[in-house]
Structure 1
């Protein structure tokens, strides 16, 4: 601000000669800043800031702190989300590495101001006048905004975060680098956006990340496959015609971790699970054996699907756990997720539905027997159970890497194929619970309790990612089963 103010005061006609002035300056949110110096560009030289904000420039735009703050990324995610082997990117991280380490976050204040020069529609703006405090020490440099169509300044109000990250990533990867743009399924897009800034940055950098992995693993990837919700999944061919699947998980944690999945796949080594050929923990990417269609896309009845999946699960439960990096299961995540989700989703169901889930969670905690814990899949449903192309029956994908009681896996099967529960969700649910007990010998009450918990928690996930019809149907089924606390 000091240099610009000096220019305008030394050469009064300079402001009128400019085609445009874009500055990262000001703070206009209702919530007060912890300290005035957080608004550094104004606080450091309040008089200069006042001179600049009062100047008349043909296009005068300010990008304030409350807008640029929405783009902040955790430092540990920055290198992954903006990863590239380009010389420019290497220089950026070399220059900014100390800042990332100290602050533990990547702030993108000035980059947004720069991008807005070349992409004027990246932000929405409001016209008005800006006042700068230059007298009172307690609020020195503080800025306030008064909307006015006759004002001399436009301040940014919102930013298209996904588009900004895409521009930033493409620019830092090198302007001469041509990257194929791939279609990403809407469910993946919705889930990524539901986790906020880090998900949007991940979406923006996906094409670049795929291009880098293609080079490193000597593969050629195709467009994304449908059916997934938390990862980009695409067929890929090796240099000698090998058939693979490329998978890149999004950088979020809704009940599972990528490293645990890799540990399970390494332990299984192709038994009951897709075979693992390569992986990158930082980028949450892996190269897998290509399988056939999911069991949900094949001509099986629901009972036949349950039988096939239970047979496959029993093989999983027999896998050794000594060297596997598994998470010991407990109910704490579900307790917290259900309580917080109930409030965040503005009470999407009667409170009694949540209360019953909490009762069942308490029951599972009180009655668990660690001596009977085994390696679980954690989410073994019809889309995660695929036909082997080598005559090995069916194999699982996407394991959660959990060491816990078997009923947890069967609870997932209680929430699936919901059309089979109409018109009597209680009766049909009891019948399926009994059938799963018959197939596995796991106690019915344990299966029922986990089935109810899975139904409600998955409903909340569906609502969070915009699948409202599915989410509400699941909550309806849970409510219908809420009439009896001990139905089996």
Structure 2
């Protein structure tokens, strides 16, 4: 916290802002003023920052009647405010946290307050998968005409470039067969992209982005932090599978992983092969990224599983 500042900015948010150069530094320097102006304009009292994110200042905010919400002010170059605001406005609270107010000039959003995240509930991962699948089915929307969203072809090409670059920067930390398979899947997903087969997808659904909707029985969940992609729904399902590494080792790893894909197909009616390919791509990309950002244990696990899934 800077001398005289009222609002303490978490270290990851500070690092993200500083990495954005002069605009990020100016955002950080003016954040106290922005938050104070939002308090006045929206009749709120903003509390201490919540931990967990890096691309925005996030905190609880209480209105004059005592109702509690969540306020979010994104860093200038994250793209978060524009894409997330658009997604949440279109969703109208269906499958996503309800957006109550927003201000594009200040990259600010006021959201309904949800409960605990799925990753804190200590549920078996298969049960978490079921919950996230049900929430995705509710959350997926048609892609609006004229919208500017990253497409499935764009995403596949972007991931291919990132995978190859990270593999080379990291000293080729996994067999070339793993990289070749991931790149082949990227080429297939890009070539098979069809706008008519897309949904407006979350883009990064995982347990920490899946929160309890308070007061529901049976308990329901909503997503937060959507990226907003115009992509086939198999992509979101592949993201769900990328971290389900338990039991994927030895000679049966491939067959077990294929069975998990079939379960998602039965649940969602989304074809199996695209789910398989996106899950493999995401598993390799995530493993390489973990190595690059200094989380070698997790990175090696993702890449070890990706190698085990290859059919020799």
Short-chain TM bin: 0.7 to 0.9
Closer, same or farther: CA 418–228 of 1 in aligned 2, 3 Å: farther
Residue 226 of structure 1 aligns to a residue whose secondary structure is coil
> C-alpha distance in 2, partners of 1:342/1:198?
31
1:420 Cα deviation from its structure 2 partner: 5.2
* Pair 1:179-2:5 in alignment: yes
1:12-50 CA distances to partner (integer Å, 9 max, x unpaired)?
A: xxxxxxxxxxxxxxxxxxxxxxxxxxxxxxxxxxxxxxx
Closer, same or farther: CA 354–327 of 1 in aligned 2, 3 Å: same
* Pair 1:434-2:257 in alignment: no
> C-alpha distance in 2, partners of 1:468/1:219?
42
Partner of residue 309 from structure 1, selected from 132, 137, 142: 132
- TM-score by length of structure 2 reads 0.84
1:280 Cα deviation from its structure 2 partner: 3.0
In the alignment, is the contact (CA less than 8 A) between 2:143 and 2:198 conserved in 1? Answer: no
Partner of residue 369 from structure 1, selected from 176, 181, 194: 194
Closer, same or farther: CA 286–468 of 1 in aligned 2, 3 Å: farther
> C-alpha distance in 1, partners of 2:127/2:295?
28
> C-alpha distance in 1, partners of 2:178/2:27?
35
- Segments of structure 2 that go 5 or more residues without pairing to the other structure are none
Closer, same or farther: CA 442–448 of 1 in aligned 2, 3 Å: same
Closer, same or farther: CA 465–224 of 1 in aligned 2, 3 Å: farther
- Segments of structure 1 that go 5 or more residues without pairing to the other structure are 1-165, 171-177
1:179-215 CA distances to partner (integer Å, 9 max, x unpaired)?
A: 22425165x5565566677656655655554344333
1:316 Cα deviation from its structure 2 partner: 2.0
1:394 Cα deviation from its structure 2 partner: 1.0
Q: Partner residue of 1:395?
A: 222
Greater shift, 452-461 or 262-271, is seen at 452-461
Q: Partner residue of 1:359?
A: 184
In the alignment, is the contact (CA less than 8 A) between 1:260 and 1:325 conserved in 2? Answer: no
* Pair 1:263-2:86 in alignment: yes
In the alignment, is the contact (CA less than 8 A) between 1:267 and 1:323 conserved in 2? Answer: no
> C-alpha distance in 2, partners of 1:206/1:472?
38
In the alignment, is the contact (CA less than 8 A) between 1:260 and 1:327 conserved in 2? Answer: no
Residue 418 of structure 1 aligns to a residue whose secondary structure is coil
* Pair 1:412-2:239 in alignment: yes
- TM-score by length of structure 1 reads 0.56
Greater relative contact order structure (CA < 8 Å, 6+ sep): 2
1:229 Cα deviation from its structure 2 partner: 4.3
Closer, same or farther: CA 459–266 of 1 in aligned 2, 3 Å: same
* Pairing 1:37-48 to 2, within 5 Å after superposition: none
- Rg: which structure is higher? 1
Closer, same or farther: CA 220–475 of 1 in aligned 2, 3 Å: farther
1:381 Cα deviation from its structure 2 partner: 0.9
> C-alpha distance in 2, partners of 1:303/1:371?
31
